[in-house]
């Protein structure tokens, strides 16, 4: 719907900088470049840093995020790409499977902003990727930043479960000194 307005959350603020990985499938290079530009700008505006990796297609985006989560130290991830409907059901498979994989990783606690466009035609993709229009790359980065902020808000230092060593020593009398 043209001209529709929607509420955008204020940009989160961080006490310590955040580092995000932008994973992009540049199948439609010009569209991917706009998505990446929007994501970079949003991350930098929040005082964060980013790394960028390219993968062959939208189906590989969640796999790359999973590898990075196991092997690196990112606070969050931005998934970017574009899938334009074609003549076969491949479109449905790519859209559904990439989205489902990203959602499952999010439910496991990863902070991921999903900016993989799923559109009917190139014009829809161009409008959504344009940093001066819908800026879905920036929106995906903002989503990841908001999830990182929630993680930091609700996170806390690990607490021991059960009795700590000091409590056990005090109860046994070994932790006491005599004069």
pLDDT tens for the chain, 179 residues long, are: 455 788 999 999 999 999 999 999 999 999 999 999 999 999 999 999 999 999 999 999 999 999 999 999 999 999 999 999 999 999 999 999 999 999 999 999 999 999 999 999 999 999 999 999 999 999 999 999 999 999 999 986 554 455 555 555 555 665 554 45
CA neighbor of 113 nearest in space, from 91, 95, 136, 129: 136
DSSP secondary structure string for all residues of 50-105:
EEEEE-SSTTHHHHHHHHHHHHS--SEEEEEEEEE--SSTHHHHHHHHHHHHHHHH
Confidence at residue 172, expressed as pLDDT on a 0 to 100 scale: 61
Query: Is 68 inside any structural domain?
Result: yes
C-beta of residue 83 within 8 angstroms of C-beta of residue 95: yes
Backbone φ and ψ for 85, nearest 5 degrees, come out as -55, 135
Instruction: Tell me whether residue 164 is in a domain.
Output: yes
Q: Is 90 a catalytic residue?
A: yes
Task: Note whether residue 122 is domain-resident.
Answer: yes
pTM of the model: 0.85
Residue 179 lies in a domain: no
pLDDT (0 to 100) of residue 141? 98
Catalytic option among 11, 29, 90, 171? 90
In a domain, 105, yes or no: yes
Q: Is 35 helix (H, G, I), strand (E, B) or coil?
A: helix
pLDDT at residue 159, as a whole number: 45
Whether 87 maps to a domain, the answer reads: yes
Helix (H) or strand (E) holding 119: strand 112-119
At 5 the pLDDT is 80
Report the CATH number at residue 157.
3.40.50.960
pLDDT of residue 52: 98
Structural domain total, the chain: 1
Domain for residue 13, yes or no? no
d(CA 147, CA 19): 13
- The Cβ-side half-sphere exposure at 125, using a 13 Å CA radius, reads 23
**Domain encompassing residue 90:** 19-172
Q: Is residue 45 part of a domain?
A: yes
């Amino acid at each position: 719907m043209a001209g529709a307005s929607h509420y955008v959350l204020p940009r989160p603020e961080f006490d310590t900088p955040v580092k995000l990985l932008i994973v992009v499938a540049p199948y439609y290079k010009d569209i991917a470049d706009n998505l990446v530009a929007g994501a970079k700008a949003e991350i930098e505006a929040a005082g964060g840093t980013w790394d960028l990796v390219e993968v062959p297609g939208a189906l590989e985006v969640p796999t790359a995020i999973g590898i990075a989560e196991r092997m690196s130290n990112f606070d969050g991830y931005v998934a970017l790409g574009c899938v334009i409907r074609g003549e076969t059901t491949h479109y449905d498979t790519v859209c559904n499977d990439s989205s489902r994989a990203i959602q499952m990783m999010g439910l496991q606690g990863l902070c991921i902003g999903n900016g993989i466009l799923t559109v009917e035609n190139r014009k829809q993709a161009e409008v959504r990727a344009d940093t001066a229009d819908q800026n879905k790359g920036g929106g995906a980065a903002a989503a990841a930043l908001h999830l990182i902020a929630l993680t930091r808000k609700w996170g806390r230092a690990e607490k021991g479960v059960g009795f700590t060593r000091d409590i056990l020593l005090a109860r046994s009398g070994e932790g006491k000194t005599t004069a």
